[in-house]
Structure formats: structure tokens, C-alpha cells
Amino acid sequence: MGIKDLLKFLKPHTESIHIKKYAGKRVGIDAYSWLHKGAYSCSMELSLNMEGDKKLQYLKYFMHRINLLRHHKITPIVVFDGGNIPCKAVTQDERERKRKANRELAMEKLKEGDVSAASELFQRAVTISPSMAHQLIQVLRSEDIEFVVAPYEADAQLAYLSSLEAEKGGIVAVVSEDSDLLAYGCPAVVFKMDRYGNGQEIILDKVLGSSDRVPSFRNFDKNLFTGMCVLAGCDFLPSIPGIGIVKAHSLVSKYRNLDRVLSVLKFEKGSQVPEQYSKSFREAVAVFHHAHIYDAALKQLKHMKPIPEDLLKSFDEELDFLGPEMPQSIATAIAEGNLNPCTMEAFSYFPSSSQANSTNLVRCDRLKKQEKRSLSSEDGCFAAVTSCKSRKDEKRGKFSASHAPFVVGRKHIDGAVELEKLKLPLMNDCEEESIIIIQKEVPKLPENNPFKKRNMEDILLKHTESTIKQVSVLTETESSEMLYPTPDSQQSVDSKPVKTTEEDTSVHREKKMKRSSNCHSSVQKSSILNFFSRV
């Protein structure tokens, strides 16, 4: 989980700041850290997919913070985690195992009638499902907030954005809880930002350049710093037994060269050093430098930093540990929030059960060209569209033409979902991989199924009436000083909804519509605005 003990170790190098120091700047947001925090306020509702809007409180939490930044004239860029990176698999499996255990315990307690014990356990079982992330994405779209879904780790994407000029979509700082960002070389990170905008800032160059603070990083460059992080133990590679952040730091400062540190370690620790350690070590460092990220200008997958020829050779041209490459169309569909990066299913507009994300309509599968994997037929799948390269293979396997009751191509799939909507220009990506779109049978839900009833549109429609008259000042940047007090003036922040007269309300509404006049349905938009303005 991040770099073990790094933040504690860097405590002397942190500075308490208020986020308003980034006024006028573009700042990256590590979406999952706020999503997780927000989910705590409604973990049971989410886990059980209960009726009502309480399970949407995580969205309100998130937007509250977004509005805090906007109030201070900061432009937030929200970055989501994407697919799972192979070398992190063990870390993630362990997390999921614990979550499931807690969830089952919670269900037991619930059966026993012990609600408070259950809800405590549900808190430990919270997961941010892709569906939840997608609901947030829809709100961000409606609020014209920039966002991007990273192909793999958000950390890497944020570090990449930090290396760009603002004009090219870059950011000057990142708000996150994750120490990995420093290992990725992020120049400025704000940790532990609270609801008032107070946080702990670490400037990497200050850390490396400072001469008077302890621990000292004299003679460290970013590469050595990253090496120290890996030695201390990271998500990709556990540390050698007995090595923590302190020893990692002293080894690196003593030898000022990672290869030398490794050979010293092998000599001193002997058999305690795993056989594969130095290879894994080099790979982990390479992830921090060359992870796969999305280049929004080129609209394609790239390495965070280009991989030098000799480094590539030293890995025998095998970069599988970075996660598979993907065609431009897929990377873009993921980045723009149209494709679930874990399942490769298209997001359906209507969220289903937020925790069990099972009713998406379309699935997009990638098959390596060479791979002779037989197309396993998932129950309920009945149709496929293939890209041009493999179209001749259509008769292959279970996906014969007779199973495909729709046009092969980009137009329509059986009338249910238009491919256009998915922004998947399938025909462009034939060399690398073939792409298969599978349509699942639309699940037949009973009329009283709560999953079906509770979708975003219902909720928004339902609340349009009640909220339209009660516009709070949360989305208004002018008169909201009292809601976002600066540290010195932060007494009563009980942000009660500001009662407005009918007159005021319509004025507010008009303002909002004007602001978003360039876009589609302003009715729905303003209902979303109002919904997340409610207090």
C-alpha cells in the first residue's frame, strides 16, 4: 500500500498549506481516495443497494470538495484508476479477500439483527465499483469538470500530467493520499487535504535539495529516490526482510547507485534475498518511470517517459509487467469513461447494483492475434462483432454467424446499443488485436427489483421537483465565502441550505443555464446541479 512509512519518514519535509495557494492553477485529483472516504458515509447503503439516495452521498462528498477547489479558482482534473497492473496482483487479491470476509460477517450480523455491528463491518467491506466511478463521471461531465481514466494506475497518470505544461493539459500539483506519487516523481503533492482545504504539502525538489533538514537527501536524484522507495517496499515488490525505509535511505545515500546497493544487499543478506529480487527490483523501478499512461493529445497509450533502447533490451523486450498495451480506440474509450477498464464492458448509462455490477449490455474482449484461446461462451452471451482482421474467423468457435443477429460493423447491435455511442472505431485497430463485442442478454428483472428501479435518471427526476426550489449556494462561487472559510475563519460551517425566495431561485437557475448553454439538455443538467447542491 504505497511506499511503506514514506510519509512518516518525510514528515520534516512536509509543510502545512491551504489549497488556495493553487488559485488559478490546474490541480490533479486522485479520484479513488475521495471516493473511498465518501463511501464511508453510506457504506451499508451501497453494499446492500438500499432504496433511497443516501447511497449517493459519496457523490455529494466528492462534489463538495470539487466545489471547494472551484471556489478558490482552482481547476480540478480528476484522475481515476483504470485496469489492474500485473505486478500488483497480490496486493489487490489480499484486499479483496479481506473485503469479502468482512462483507460476509456483516451479512451475518445483519441477520442476527445487530445493525450497528453490521454497519461497522460494511465499512470495512466498501469497494468502489466501476459503476460508482462511472456515476461520478456522469456528474463530472454535467459539471464540466475535466477528468481522465488512467489505463492502469492513476498515480502514473497524475505524475505524467505533472510533467506537462498547463497549456498541454498539465497540472502543477496533485491532491492525494498516496505516497506512491512521490515515487513516480510527482513534483508537488498535497496529502490529507481536509474539508476546509488544509493539507500537507510535499515538494519533491525541496526534499531533494534541502540541506538543513533530516533526513537529508543530498546527492539524491529522482532516480535514487525512487530506488529508495522500492527498497523500502512497494505494491509491486515487498522489501527484503529487515529492510525498511530507514535502511533503504541510508543504503542509497551511502552508495549513491542502485546496482551497488543491490550487490551489497546480496552480499550481506545472502539467502534472505529472494532469487528474483534484482530482476523484480529493476522492473518495479521501471514501472515508476515508464508506466503506461494515456496521452490525451495523441489520444493513445504511451509510456510516462520513453523507454531507452538499452533498457528495453535489458528486459529482453518483455514489458508485460507494465500491463498489456492496447489499441488507440480502447485506450481512448477507457480514458473518456465509456469503457470499464476492468471488464472491458461498455458502461451503460443506467447504473445497476452499484456493488455487483452485472447488467451492462456490451462487453468488449481483447484477444491476442496469436492466442489460440477458444472463445469461452459466457452464459447469456449470444453475439459478437469482430474487427476487420478477424472477420473471416467469424465462423470460428461458438460465435458463428447464426449467433449474430445484427450487422457486423459499427452501426448497430441488434438495435439495443449503438456502437457509435461507445466511440469505438473498431476498424482502426486491426493489426494488433482483434476486438470482439459481445452483447449479453438483457437480464430479465422482476418488476419490483430494486436494482432496476433505482437508476440515476429516476433519482434525478424525482429530485428535480424538490430541489429546484431549494438552491443552495454551494455551486455559486460568488457568495460562498462562509461555506469555505479559510483556516482562520472556520467556526460554524453547518452549511444549511440557504433559503431563497422564488425570485432568487429562478435567477440562479438562469445563471446556471447560461453557463452551460453550449451543451445538451440543460433541464437534466440543472437537476444534477441542484441535486448536488442540496445540503
Q: In angstroms, rounded to a whole number, what is the distance separating the alpha carbons of residues 28 and 437?
A: 33
Interacting residue with DNA among 83, 187, 233, 327 (CB under 7 A): 233
Q: Write out the binding residues for Mn ion, residues 96-155 only, by CB under 5 A.
A: 155
Between the CA of residue 499 and those of 481, 502, 504, what are the distances in Å?
A: 16, 9, 9
Which partner in Mn ion, DNA, none is near 124 (CB below 5 to 8 A by kind)?
Answer: DNA
Single out the residue of 208, 147, 164, 146 nearest to residue 182, CA to CA.
208
Q: Which is nearer to Mn ion, 3 or 437 (CB)?
A: 3
201 near DNA, rule: CB under 7 A: no
**Beta strands of 428-493 (E only): which ranges?**
433-440
Residue whose C-alpha cell reads 449490455 in the numeric block: 361
Interacting residue with DNA among 21, 141, 192, 269 (CB under 7 A): 192
Determine the longest span between alpha carbons in the chain, in angstroms: 78
180 near Mn ion, rule: CB under 5 A: yes
Q: In angstroms, rounded to a whole number, what is the distance separating the alpha carbons of residues 354 and 132?
A: 6
178 near Mn ion, rule: CB under 5 A: yes
Q: Which is nearer to DNA, 203 or 248 (CB)?
A: 248
DSSP per-residue codes, 222-271? HHHHHHHHHHH-BTTBPPPTT--HHHHHHHHHHH-SHHHHHHHHHHHHGG
Q: Which is nearer to DNA, 184 or 399 (CB)?
A: 184
Q: In angstroms, rounded to a whole number, what is the distance separating the alpha carbons of residues 159 and 448?
A: 46
Q: Is 106 exposed, middle or buried (0-12, 13-18, 19+ CB in 10 A)?
A: buried
Q: Which is nearer to Mn ion, 143 or 155 (CB)?
A: 155
Sole window of 132-140, 176-184, 386-394, 467-475 interacting with Mn ion (rule: CB under 5 A): 176-184
CB of 302 to DNA, least distance (A): 20
Lay out the site mask for DNA across 122-151 (x = CB under 7 A, - = otherwise).
-xx---x-----------------------
Residue whose C-alpha cell reads 451492462 in the numeric block: 360
Q: Reply yes or no: is the peptide bond before residue 215 cis, omega within 30 of 0.
A: yes
Q: Write out the binding residues for DNA, residues 147-176 only, by CB under 7 A.
A: 153, 155
Q: Which is nearer to Mn ion, 224 or 287 (CB)?
A: 287
41 near DNA, rule: CB under 7 A: yes
Q: Which is nearer to Mn ion, 85 or 139 (CB)?
A: 85
Residues in contact with 313: Cβ distance below 8 Å, sequence separation at least 6, in sequence order: none
Interacting residue with DNA among 243, 287, 460, 473 (CB under 7 A): 243
Sole window of 246-254, 360-368, 425-433, 499-507 interacting with DNA (rule: CB under 7 A): 246-254
Q: By the criterion CB under 7 A, which residues form the site for DNA?
A: 1-8, 32-33, 36-38, 40-41, 57, 60-61, 64, 81, 92, 95, 123-124, 128, 153, 155, 177-180, 192, 194-195, 233, 235, 239, 241-248
